[in-house]
Structure 1
């Protein structure tokens, strides 16, 4: 029944119905129309709409005044918000001040540390923008290219030339190992004392795993035993449990803060990894992305 009704009702006739209901008269409706139309033309629209629906929508209560019937009131309550919202919608589309939904894929570390204060600022200034967050085990550039997500926030092994990017932060490398009571270790910058212990590496991101192993090789270390985990949070859990040590990049100035884990900056080789926001290049500006970037943290 709904599909049949949808095919019968034409938007042009609904527009005539809206103006007659709002103005309570055909002559006044014709004068209020946003484009030239005659009173007989408006009257004809209503007659055709009533004929197609099989109900009366108005009843005359004076020489030039009509009011809605109960059926007409139901139809008016459904269509009035659309027509009344059109001027504001037009202004929003012209100025770019539109709300909507942003889909963001980011690494677990970015989701937990970089994005929360950024999104709080966005919510305070643009509550009309809804954000959907998804954790990406590896940089989700394919999803950005296909349009399945709007933004990627992550460390990118290489900045893709076909995407627009902006740096929004950076991470430093930290040596993480189980905390030991009354440990004399202070300011440790070398993993050499742990060379015979189990090393915990990434399983899901081969690029990050290669960076970890390359840093160890700088100190002449080739791990004899390794565990693999799919995220930095899982690696930290293994370290906190006393299973081994690892090298992790962190956005936090003092490194990851996890009970049972000591994190110290690895200054040699000195490495910092930029964090980027990346989005699909398009000739059409995206006001939602622009609103988010206007509040982006400084790297």
Structure 2
């Protein structure tokens, strides 16, 4: 008997139907895939396990569910018991901004409660992180939010950073509106790649103002954006956070009425104690460090 097919049948029997099972599984799988694999299980056993509409287990389905249920019901508790004997392990996916300027402080706070904590870190974009979460390759993602996540992914907004432009400290510019009034902006624009959420938000704001400002210098990190501005290569796109803009040779021009950059935590299913711990510590850190940008 295919054990994965048996696991799918367990969820279907437990939740009373295929569509309900798909919504309740701890990992992502499409309804047609579940249906086809249940059919393979029935073909292998030579029996029908349940009536589809309305849902009802057959006698053989009741017998198989009674056999499988104790094992799958106890998997979580057995896993938790075994994990208590080893160092806790947490796999986090995050953006470059979060990995560099945000996560270290949050993890340091968490280590006070879990000194043996082992971390697995990887960077990527929101679409990558959603895929990793659904495939159970990571436990938690902290990322700039680019649209509503998949329905099977839970989301909690942590903070909202307003966008700003960075100019050299000696620049004569006093506001971003002075740039929009020029009609044609000759200053080179320095920003993260076009695929980054921050750049997308900025582009949408420019379109609303019917401003054409070509992307001149593409930087791989926000540190590089700041450095290039400080060295006089152009005007940079960043966020209103002193921890991010660490250079006395630049100053910030607010981008009023532009969309803010939202940072959110993403996970699937019921949050484990470790995942919940990171989310709680994140909220505390944001409230202390950037109270004015904390998500309400």
Q: TM-score, normalised by structure 1?
A: 0.58
Question: Is 1:195 paired with 2:181?
Answer: no
Change (3 A) 1:97 1:253: farther
User: Within the alignment, does 1:176 sit opposite 2:166 as a pair?
Assistant: yes
Counterpart in the other structure of 2:249:
260
Which of residues 278, 285, 292 is equivalent to 1:292?
Answer: 278
SS in 1 for 2:131: helix
Q: Where does 1:209-288 land on structure 2 (aligned, <5 Å)? A: 209-224=199-214, 226-250=216-240, 252=241, 256-267=245-256, 269-281=257-269, 286-288=272-274
Task: Indicate whether 1:164 and 2:157 are aligned.
Answer: no
Q: Go from structure 1 to structure 2 and tell me whether the alpha carbon gap of 1:149 and 1:95 turns closer, same or farther (over 3 Å shift).
A: closer
Aligned-pair CA distance for 1:162: 1.4
Q: How much does 1:222 deviate?
A: 0.5
Change (3 A) 1:149 1:264: same
CA deviation string 1:13-54 (max 9, x = no partner): xxxxxxxxxxxxxxxxxxxxxxxxxxxxxxxxxxxxxxxxxx
1:26-65 maps to which residues of 2 (within 5 A)?
none
Change beyond 3 A, Cα 1:110–1:233: same
Aligned residue number for residue 108 of structure 1? 96
Cα distance, 1:163 vs structure 2: 0.6
Q: Report deviation, 1:225.
A: 6.0
**In 1, Cα distance between equivalents of 2:197 and 2:159:** 19
RMSD, aligned α-carbons: 3.3
1:17 maps to which residue? Answer: none
| Aligned ranges 1:14-163 → 2 under 5 Å | 93=81, 99-136=87-124, 140-160=129-149, 161-163=151-153
Matched-pair contact (CA < 8 Å) for 1:137–1:231:
no
Structure 1 unaligned spans of 5+: 1-88
In our comparison, the structure showing a higher alpha carbon Rg is: 1
Separation (CA, whole Å) in 2 of partners of 1:166 and 1:153: 10
Structure 2, unaligned runs of 5 or more:
1-76, 288-293
Residue deviations 1:216-273 (CA, integer Å, cap 9, x gap): 23444202562223333333332223221132234x2686223432223212x24323
> Could you say which residue in structure 2 is the equivalent of 1:63?
none
Contact 2:194 2:200 in 1 (8 A): no
How many residue pairs end up in the alignment?
A: 204
Shift of 1:97: 10
- Structure 1 residues 261 and 201: CA distance shift in structure 2, 3 A: same
Q: Runs of at least 4 residues of structure 1 off by over 4 A? A: 94-99, 183-186
